[in-house]
Amino acid sequence: MHRHHHYDMFLSDQRREFEDPEKFLPELLDHNQVIVDLGCGPGYYCQYLVKYASKLYCIDIDDEALKIVKEIVPESITMKDLRGIPDGSVDVILLANSFHDMDNKEDVVNEIRRVLKEGGKVIIIDWKKDATPFGPPVFLRMDKEDYLKYFRGFDVVKEFDVGPYHFGLLLIKK
């Protein structure tokens, strides 16, 4: 399988050493759920989420990333945005290392609110706002307070440990 080298690090085994979904996803997810990985990149989390999903939407603006997702998780539904997803049909939305890069964050949150069921979960995983050996520049990173400005009207249910470079938040749509 040919992969563009840019995505190799996103899918590498080394990533599990500092960001291992098996350590925190099982306690956040139930089986047979409709799940969205928003800003999925080449599918690092999709390959874990599919174990829990009755339907898995992997969404990214990058066509090349979505091709790789389809190779790794053929049963996923790949899309470029949330617009094709019916209102109130989604149980869980994952935002892993992606929201800080998105334009029009208010619009994105409005779409998240539209597609999520009442009581639906938003799982946020992102880089801590500290200098790390790799990752996005610190000035682009968002912390819990930054997220909560955008996700007004959601309850913060818990914060969870992801690893040395990332934090995790679980929000519920009221």
- Residue 91, classed as helix, strand or coil, is strand
Counting residues of the chain whose pLDDT is more than 90, the rounded percentage is 85
Tens digits of per-residue pLDDT, 95-121?
Answer: 999 999 999 999 999 999 999 999 999
Tens digits of per-residue pLDDT, 138-149?
Answer: 999 999 999 999
CATH topology of domain 5-173: Rossmann fold (3.40.50)
What confidence score (pLDDT) does residue 134 get?
A: 87
Tens digits of per-residue pLDDT, 18-72?
Answer: 888 999 999 999 999 999 999 999 999 999 999 999 999 999 999 999 999 999 9
Smallest Cα–Cα separation from 23: which of 162, 167, 126? Answer: 162
pTM for this structure? Answer: 0.92
- Please report, for residues 4, 37, 76, 123, the alpha-carbon distance to residue 69 in angstroms, rounded to integers and kept in the order given: 13, 11, 8, 20
Looking up tokens 């790390």, which residue turns up? 132
| Rounded CA separation 33/36 (Å) | 10
Tens digits of per-residue pLDDT, 24-33?
Answer: 999 999 999 9
Which backbone phi and psi does 30 adopt, to 5 degrees? -115, 170
Please report which helix (H) or strand (E) contains residue 36, including its range: strand 33-38
| Rounded CA separation 16/116 (Å) | 28
Domain residue limits, the chain: 5-173
